[in-house]
Every structure is written in structure tokens, then in C-alpha cells.
Amino acid sequence: MANPEEMYQCQTANCGCIYDPDRPPRKLNIPKGTKFTELPRDWCCPICGASKASFKPLAGSGSVKDDHS
């Protein structure tokens, strides 16, 4: 499984989607291993439609953890 720094979680009220490069959403035909930063700028959450800007990394600088410390 990817490191937390490589995984991103949607921060909208409606969704807890986590983007994992080792398990990208199948319905979007994203190749396994595609980093979040490599996704197209207009990519959006497959569950709630939130933009990439609504996602934050699970660990590291600017992460979900930093927001709740």
C-alpha cells in the first residue's frame, strides 16, 4: 500500500474518499501507480465531484493531520 504522503483524502462534508495510487478508481481508467499530483488538473472526486483542491494528503506538509493538531 502507498505511503500516507502519497494518499489524499477528500475534505468535503459529503465524502471521505481517499485517493490511493495503488488502488485508483477503476471506473476512471487510471493506471495503477498514478500519483495524485500526476492526475489532470480538472480531475474530480469520483464520489462527490469535489475538485482536486478539496483533497489534502493524509500525512506530511499541508496534510489532514496538520489541520487537526
Neighbours of 17 (CB within 10 A): 19
DSSP H stretches of helix in 1-69:
64-67
Name the DSSP letter for residue 51.
B
Q: How far apart are CA 36 and CA 42, in angstroms?
A: 12
How many domains does one find in the chain?
1
pLDDT bin (cut points 50, 70, 90) of residue 10 is: confident
Type of residue numbered 31 = P
Range of the domain at 54: 4-67
Mean model confidence pLDDT for the chain: 84
Provide the CATH number for the domain around residue 42. 2.20.28.10
pLDDT-based confidence at residue 1 (cuts at 50, 70, 90): confident
Nearest to 19 by CA among 6, 1, 38: 6
Per-residue confidence (pLDDT) for residue 19, from 0 to 100? 92
User: Is 68's pLDDT higher than 80?
Assistant: no
- pLDDT band, very low/low/confident/very high, at 67 (cuts 50, 70, 90): low
Confidence (pTM): 0.78
